[in-house]
Structure formats: structure tokens, C-alpha cells
Structure 1
Amino acid sequence: MILGHSREGLVKAGGLATAQEIDQQPLAWADTLDIVEAERPSINVFLAPLLAHPNLRIILTGAGSSAFIGEALAPYLSRWLGRQVESIATTDIVTSPVSYFNAKRPTLLVSFARSGNSPESLAAIELADSLQPSCRHLVLTCSEHGELYRRSRENPRALSALMPPDSNDRGFAMTSSLSCMLLACLAILLPRRFNPVECLGMLQRGRHLMDALPRQLAGWAVPPPKRVVYLGSNELKGIAREGALKMLELSAGRIVALFDSAIGFRHGPKSVIDERTVVIQLISNQAHVRRYELDLLQELRRDARAEQVVALADRRDSIIDAGDRLYLPPGKEGDDMSLAFCYLPYLQYMAFQASMLLGISPDSPSPDGHVNRVVQGVTIYPYSEA
């Protein structure tokens, strides 16, 4: 059984690859940490002179899910590195590169890409080199055959890290590719916090979590909701955004999915809630953040406008217990970035299960090519600073 489904059933439904790629993540995470540790000497040589600059600017970039990796990482890395870390999508860079590159600041551009063949990913590096020749590049990708990996290997100002082979997802949606690149970046930039020893508890919990998902989410999406809203704060806001994209992708747009922060949701977006809307709130482990989130949770339940309001949480609380909730399986508690690796499989499984119940192939939810695994139809135009 894989995620509660037989192999034969998954093959018939066109969901085997996606199910395997969600399920394999704890093992892929362990392999990712081992890869980074093996490359540690060359990583240190590359990073040491950059991190010696107190005003080093770090830009995290990618397109789609790869951009959301940066959104989750930026607030966390800013706190722990004590320096400016920004998330800027390649789709923004290519349209206005001069808005983002400043030749006066030493800059490290960290690029995330599953295939490494996205036109925007390739163009973002070319534009950085053109507008800021001193820019250095850290490339995290899942395909050794991708153009981004090939070019980075030939670039003396770049360091590339290749994720485990199985993380190059065969399914349409990014699952293990995303979480492996997320972890690799943490292991590279925060090695004392993210390494095989420190992450052992997280890896063990991840395996336990995969076994628990089918039981905990039995009956999810029966019947499928019209809308799903994902709410998260700080680093978990990026995870909420990724959850919304997974639901949109795997339901082929038949379930409309949105995201916001717990605080921001009140400022207008809350009007989206109706009787066919499910709200999934990712609850933080940080005491200060939880106060705001639990206030909103109580408010949404008191409003009684949504079909369902579900709290996804680690630490128990009487406020959470007063309504629908999903608690993580027991395990070593961590900060919110550690929580991200626990929450991601829940959101991936929700989207996968909705896809199966709608009769849509999770591995290929858009067989007519309306949207593609690697984006098509993008023309990159030459940029003139004038």
C-alpha cells in the first residue's frame, strides 16, 4: 500500500508516481542531507568569502513552487543568518531585472529548479551576470540533464548541488523535489541546525507521519469542496501558498485554492468564505505567533460561514480542541521550519486525494497541455537598461 492505496489502484487512476513521490520524502530528505555533508568542503570554500561580507545580500529565486521555497526560507534565514535574505521569483526578475540587481552590493543568487529547463530560471542568471558581474550563484536542482545544472557547472562564479535522483519528480506536481531543495538550502546555509544528526528526529517523525496520513485524512474531500483557503504565518505562509498551488494543480482548477497569512486574511480576503469553503490553518509552534493564529481560529469558527475550519497543529491547545483539527503524530517538537516539513505532506496528500476523488489523474492532471510540467510558450526578450 502507498498512501493507503494499492499499487494496482494507483496505476489504474494514473497516480502512482505522485503517490510514491509524496511517500518517499523522509528517505529522500536523509539522502539530501548526506549529499550536502559529502560536498561540505567545496561548499565551505565557496561560501566563506561571501559570508565574510557583513552586507551580503541573498536572493532566493525560482518559478512557481520553486519560488515558494524562497518565500518559506526568506524570513527564517533572515533571522538565523542576521542578514538580508529576499525571495524574488524569476518571473519578476525577467520582467524588471534592474529593480532587483544592485552592483554595489555583494549578492548571492540562490536558484531553485526541478528540471532546470524553465526559460525564466536560465534568464534570471544571465540577467544577474549582465547587470551585476560580481554576483555569485548557488544552484539547487533535481536534474543532472537540465540546462541550469549544465551551465552552472561551467560557471566559475557558481556552485551547484544536485538533489537525490528520485527527487526529480515524474509526476506533474512538485512534491519531493520541493522539499529536498528546501532542506538542501537549509543544510548549506545553516549547517549546525540542519545536518544528519540534528535532523534525525524530523526524519523519524516524517516516516511516522506518512503512515498516519491515510487514517487521519480518511473521508477528506467527500464531497470535494468548492474552495480551500490555506493560512500560515511567516515561513509557514510560503508553505500555505504551496498547498494552495498543489490543490489547484492536482484538481485541474476544479477546486479553487487561495492562501494568506493569519493576520492578512481579515483585511478583505476573508470575504471569499461561503458554505462550500474549507479553511486549513497551519498553526505555528512559536508562542507569539500562536496568539494571533488562535484568535483567528476562534473567529472563523464563531462566524460559522465556512463548511469546515481545520487547525493543522503540533502542540495541543484547548482552543484547537474546540473544533476540527489535525494533530501531527507524536515526535520531537521543532521550530516552524521543522514544522514545514511535517505540514507539507498533509497539504500534498489533501490535493492528491481530492484529485483521485474527482477522477483526475494526479500524475497528469492537464493531459490537453493547458498547463505543463515544464512551462511552455515563454519568450525571453533581450533586456536594455536604457
Structure 2
Amino acid sequence: MTYLNYSQDLLKEKDAYWTAKEIQQQPACWDKVLSNLIQVQPSIDAFLKPILAKPNLRIIFTGAGTSAFVGESIAPAVCAKLGKRVEAIATTDLVSNPHDYFQSDIPTLLVSFARSGNSPESVASVDYADSLVKECYQLAITCNEEGELYKRCSGTNKFALLMPPETNDISFAMTSSFSSMMLSALYVFCPVENFKLQFEKSMAATESLITRYDQIIKTVANKKYERVIYLGSGIFKGLAREGALKLLELTDGVAVSSFDSPLGFRHGPKAIVNDKTLVILFISNHPLTRKYDLDLLTELTGDSEVGEIIVVDAKASEEHTGFECLFLSGMENAEDIFLLFPYIVCVQMYGFEHALAINNTPDNPSSSGTINRVVQGVNIYAL
């Protein structure tokens, strides 16, 4: 059995086995997640429908690090779908400034994402919300049945949605956990006609991407770009942030990464671009948004300053010349929420390959040992 076109023996030698396996296994994980969601849907509906019916409901998506970026990636889509106040606020913000973010008199559904559910901020956010919001509801979407968050969200006004066990990544970096929690949240909060059928196209496109473009991604990663910029509009901006973090984590900070929206990038951040810079650009399928994405692409190629560009897109276009293009077969007419999944696997693969290119160990990337799988050393104080 090989993962990302590497033998298991070689991956173990490079301390990269679990990261490679957990990236490649995602389509299979998603199939299990979806089957589980369909099975438990009556219980989810019984909990959520009365809450979502409240006209002044506030929904907060939260988590720490990668888990926070699940919320950032889906909040715009959920807001548009539900027509409600939907915000993505990291637990690291909620815990340090709870009185700035929680509003006592506004009914609030706090949706917590967590791989382990043992991060101090994850637990504290649940407790702070209960203390500060008069009408508070809690939904935990987590990968660890033994985690503190899962245990805390099984009482009154609370619901815990558990992912399949293989999504609780063993590797340092969150991969299967991120995408599986994102899938669960979209299924719950963005009901789309024929969701399963449409998502099956996402799975097929991801499997195709892994086998079709692994060598291209490896070739670019082996150039060891010093700066990597991830760009995406709307829901893809949160995904770009996760891509930037994944590279920082897996390369132990050797590769400097950043993120932005294509329009926002022009307003100063573009100064980072030089011939040692790689830009990874997510292209939207929405006809209006797509125009802005392609405009920046035209500008970057016209400037002739950037070292290289990788475009991830579901549609062929005449603008796609002179740089690497990763096309997603069968996704030309897909809603953007279904592009999130193959897009994130693309950048996970890039981070993995860049780590190997600089001889870092993806499964345990922190050479100093000061960055941990579950954050340590955080003090939680009473309100």
C-alpha cells in the first residue's frame, strides 16, 4: 500500500507515514461521515430545528487554530443559506475577551469544532458561554469521544456530534479532522438538494486530484519557495488561512506563508511578492466572484514578479496559461461549498511535499518540541 505515491517503508523512514495516510484517506472518511450524518439526522433535527427557528438567533462557529478555520471557511455560506447572524470567532479570542464577544440577551448557538476536544480554550469557551449568555445552546463537532469537549456537550441545551474514529488524526497536522468537521457542519447548516449526490462528485474529484497532480505538486514543492501566499474569495479565504497554517506547521516555519482575498491582496500585502514567492490561488465557480479572482491572476502574471503560481480551478479558461493549473474534473457546475474539499486536499499535499523537500518530518514537524499537537501551558482564569 502506498500513500501519496510513497511506500509505507519510506514514509516511516521520513516520519511522514501518518500525515500521508491521513491526507489520502479523506474521501473514504467523508463517505463514513456522510453515512453517519444521514443516520443521526433525526436527532440533529430534533435538537437544532427549534433553535434555528428563533428569529434573533446568533450562531458562533468557534475553535482554536485549524479548528477555528473550519468556521471561517463556511460562515459566509451558512449566513447566506440561513439568513441569520453567523460569525466565526476563534476560542482564542472568546477566552481572552469574552465580554467583548458574548452578548447576554441574544439567544446564541455556539458551535465548537475540535479534533481532540482537550484544548483549554475549547473547554473554557463552553463554560464562559454558559455563564455569560442567558439563552445559550451548544453544539460540539469533534473527533474524540474521550475529549473533554465531547463530555461537556451532552447535557441540557447541548448536542455532541462525533466524527468517525479515523478522523482523529494521529499526525501533528489536522487533515482528515478538518475536512470531516467541515463536511458535517455544511450538511447540518447548508441543506442543499441532493447533497449526497453532489458531494460524491467532490469525493471523486479529490481522488482524481491526488493521483493526477501529485507529481506536479511535488515538483513545485521541491523548488523550496521561501514565501507561499494562499488566496481565495469568500469561503475560500478561510481555506486559504488554513493552507497557510498547514505550511507553517509542516515546515516548522522554514517556509513563510500568508493568506488573503484576491481583492484584499492588492491593498498592501502584495508587497511580499518576489521571485522567491509561490502564489496558490483558489478560483470560485460563482460567475461574479470568478471575475475578481481571474483579474488578480492576470495582474500577477502581467507583473512578472512572482516566482510561480498554482491555480486550483474547476473550469478550464483561456486565462490559464503560463503557470500550473490543477483542474477538478466533473466540478464545472458545482457550488463553491463542494469545491472546499478537493481544494483543501491540494494545499495539504503541497505542505506535505514542501516539508519533505526541506527534510522536515511531517508527523512531528516541530524540531524544538515547543509546538504540540494539543496546545499546552494555557492558563484559564475565572470570569
User: Normalising by structure 2, what TM-score?
Assistant: 0.97
Q: Which amino acid aligns with 1:78?
A: C
* Equivalent runs, 1:49-128 vs 2, <5 Å: 49-128=50-129
Give the superposition deviation at 1:56: 1.2
Is the alpha carbon distance of 1:329 and 1:293 closer, same or farther for their aligned partners in structure 2, counting shifts above 3 Å? closer
Aligned residue for 1:189?
A: 189
C-alpha separation in 2, matches of 1:51 and 1:257: 38
Is 1:2 equivalent to 2:3 in the alignment?
yes
Does structure 2 conserve the Cα–Cα contact (< 8 Å) formed by 1:63 and 1:90? yes
Change (3 A) 1:68 1:106: same
Task: Determine if contact 1:312/1:326 at 8 Å carries over to the other structure.
Answer: yes
**Superposed, which structure 2 residues align to 1:194-233 within 5 Å?**
195-233=195-233
What secondary structure is seen at the aligned counterpart in 1 of 2:140? strand
Equivalent residue number for residue 20 of structure 1: 21
Aligned equivalent of 2:35:
34
CA–CA separation in structure 1 for the residues paired with 2:307 and 2:185:
38
Report the Cα offset of residue 310 of structure 1.
2.4
- The answer on whether the counterparts of 1:230 and 1:279 sit within 8 Å (CA) in structure 2 is yes
Q: Tell me, yes or no, if structure 1 residue 326 matches structure 2 residue 316.
A: no
- CA deviations 1:236-289 (Å, max 9, x no partner) are 000100000000000000000000000000111111111111111111111101
Distance 1:107 1:27 in 2: 34
**Residues 126-159 of structure 1: CA distance to partner in whole angstroms, max 9, x if unpaired?**
0000001321011000011111111212x21110
Q: Counterpart amino acid of 2:100?
A: S
CA deviations on 1:215-235 (whole Å, 9 max, x unpaired) are: 332412222011000110000
1:164 & 1:345 partners in 2: Cα distance? Answer: 19
Match of 1:309 in 2: 309
Aligned partner of 1:162 in structure 2 is 162
Matches of residues 43-54 of structure 1 in structure 2 within 5 Å? 43-54=44-55
Query: Structure 1 pair 299/256, CA: closer, same or farther in 2 (3 Å)?
Result: same
CA contact (8 A) 1:316 1:327 kept: no
CA offset digits 1:191-236 (Å, max 9, x no partner) = 4447434422222222222222323324122220110001100000
Q: CA offset at residue 322 of structure 1?
A: 2.3
> 1:229·1:277 contact (CA, 8 Å) conserved in 2?
yes
| Counterpart-to-counterpart distance in 2, 1:194 and 1:148 | 32
Percent identical across equivalent pairs? Answer: 44
Give 3-state SS (helix, strand or coil) of 1:199's partner: helix
Deviation at 1:290, TM superposition (A): 1.2
Matched, 1:352 2:352: yes
Distance in 2 between the 1:329 and 1:95 partners? Answer: 41
CA distance in 2, matches of 1:7, 1:380: 41
Deviation at 1:325, TM superposition (A): 2.9
Tell me the residue number matched to 2:172: 172
C-alpha contact (below 8 Å) 1:33/1:195 kept by paired residues:
no
Structure 2 residue identity aligned to 1:377: G
Q: Name the count of aligned residue pairs.
A: 381
- Give the AA of the match of 2:94: I
Equivalent residues of 1:311, 1:326 under 8 A apart: yes
Given that 2:77 and 2:190 are in contact with CA atoms closer than 8 Å, whether structure 1 keeps it comes out as: no
Partner of 2:137: 136
Distance 1:332 1:232, change over 3 A: closer
Q: Distance in 2 between the 1:308 and 1:324 partners?
A: 7
| Structure 2: 5+ residue stretches without partners | none
TM-score (normalizing by structure 1): 0.96
| Corresponding position: 1:258 with 2:258 | yes
Out of 194-203 and 266-275, give the one that drifted further: 194-203
User: Residue 286 in 1 paired to residue 286 in 2?
Assistant: yes
Tell me what 1:240 maps to: 240
